Amino acid sequence: MIYVVATLTIKPGSLEALRAPAAACVAETRKEKGCISYELFASLDDPEKLVFVERWETREDLTAHSKQPHLVAWRDASAPHLVERRIEIVHPERIEQF
């Protein structure tokens, strides 16, 4: 099993515009092969911080996720609102950072 922590910094005032596209992405991702859990959190202290916390059975399942239409739609919808994206993929033996 691997974990993913994706931290997004969004432009001020963007949260409302991202609610529906994020919810659609989360709902569809949870149906994917290998998805153990997929959660999205908004920071209580910083309204411009969103954090996805994911668990996947394999790295291959995560790679397949990155090509799904609902993730592409989420990336397109979030792009105009995004300031920064940091992704950490936590394996038992190492951490990938993007």
Residue written as token pair 């997929």: 38
Residues 50, 93: Cα–Cα separation, whole Å: 26
Q: Which residues is 47 bridged to in the sheet?
A: none
Judged against a pLDDT cut of 90, whether residue 58 lies above it is answered with: yes
The pLDDT of residue 2 is 97
How many residues belong to the chain?
98
Question: Where in the chain are the domains?
Answer: 2-97
- Average pLDDT for residues 2-10, to the nearest whole number? 98
* Domain 2-97 grouped into CATH 3.40.50.150: no
Judged against a pLDDT cut of 90, whether residue 47 lies above it is answered with: no
